[in-house]
Amino acid sequence: MATLTTHQIELVEKILTLKKEKNAVILVHNYLRPEVYEVADFIGDSLGLCEEAAQTKADIVVFSAVHFMAESAALLLPHAKVLLPNYNAGCALADMITAEQLRAFKLEHPGAAVVCYINSSAEVKAESDAVCTSANAAEVVRNLPEKKILFVPDKNLANFVARLVPEKEIIAWEGYCPIHHKITVEQVMKAKADHPNAKVIAHPECPEDILRIADKVASTTGMMKFAEQNENDEFIIITECGLTQRMIKEMPEKKFLSVCNMCYDMKKTTLESILEALEQEQFEIMIPEHVAVRARKSFKRMFELTGGVSKIPSLVE
């Protein structure tokens, strides 16, 4: 267990008791506060959390992350009540494109397939041909039959995928994650100079010049796995600051240095907000059915392209 205050320990005990009483599960993203990990049924990246959400038998899912992630759970679990502990936890990247803007983008490029990064709204997903995550973006793009791909909303992830799938023409929307986009090569090079034996692990939402000097580019779960499996014992982590805290907790025998910015939306979820969400069953994610039906199809396409649709009950019923 993380080092908790007496008050936090009391909150953890109340949450664990209440989630049993209500047949609830708590899903937690890798970027959240470390004390929130103590009540998690599953901790992971967007893909892992989606898969867990889609397979749970719980009546209530408390999605401890940001709004688009809770929306994804609600799409994949239409028969469960999905709660977001802090309804104001948004995503600057997701806000960089609207459904109306995507419709106009599609009109400019007839015949192109739209691949939508999971960091987007349900309305944008409904206008897309397939969803992707940072873990499977290249696989989704590679397996689509279309040669021209509109990739929204993250241009940095789009550029990374273009390097991995050069046979496709990828046209990127000009969006980005401010948390990753504002990290500079100068910051990374200073960290490398100070720690020359460290391996650099970066998230693909980082700019291309940073990805080119990284030893490994991966989703947050992929970053964790690389650090666990690599024989090196020192790493420079380039993503939101919370992941480094989790790595330190999970791998105390290794040294982790962070080049990061903090996502304040991810930090809005607290033990207090989780407890209140469970007690009141408040901040339920509600998606209009005409949007949900179309957005669910883009999720189904992702799982079909990556060989995992059979694991998602709501998509094969």
Residue range 56-107, pLDDT digits in tens: 889 999 999 999 999 999 999 888 999 999 999 999 999 999 999 999 999 9
| Contact predicate 36/277, CB 8 Å | no
Asked whether the bond before 178 is cis by omega within 30 degrees of 0, the reply is: no
Topology alike, domains 6-90+267-286 and 183-260: yes
Q: In whole angstroms, what is the distance from residue 38 CA to residue 203 CA? A: 25
Query: Which is it for strands 24-29 and 60-64: parallel, antiparallel or unpaired?
Result: parallel
Residue whose pair of structure tokens reads 């960091």 in the numeric block: 119
pLDDT at 131 (0 to 100): 97
CATH of domain 6-90+267-286: 3.40.50.10800
Quick one: CA dihedral 114, 243, 63, 174, positive or negative?
negative
User: Which sequence spans correspond to the domains of the chain?
Assistant: 6-90+267-286, 94-177, 183-260
The model's pLDDT over 227-256, given as tens digits with 9 standing for 90+, comes to 999 999 999 999 999 999 999 989 999 999
**pTM attached to this predicted model:** 0.92
Query: Which is it for strands 199-202 and 234-238: parallel, antiparallel or unpaired?
Result: parallel
> Does residue 165 register a pLDDT over 60?
yes
pLDDT at 314 (0 to 100): 63
183-260 placed in CATH 3.40.50.10800: yes
Q: In whole angstroms, what is the distance from residue 268 CA to residue 310 CA? A: 34
Q: In whole angstroms, what is the distance from residue 317 CA to residue 315 CA? A: 6
Q: In whole angstroms, what is the distance from residue 26 CA to residue 72 CA? A: 15
pLDDT at 316 (0 to 100): 56
- Percentage of residues of the chain with pLDDT beyond 70: 97
Average pLDDT over the chain, rounded to whole? 94
Torsion of CA 209, 211, 212, 218, to 10 degrees: -170
CATH of domain 94-177: 3.40.50.10800
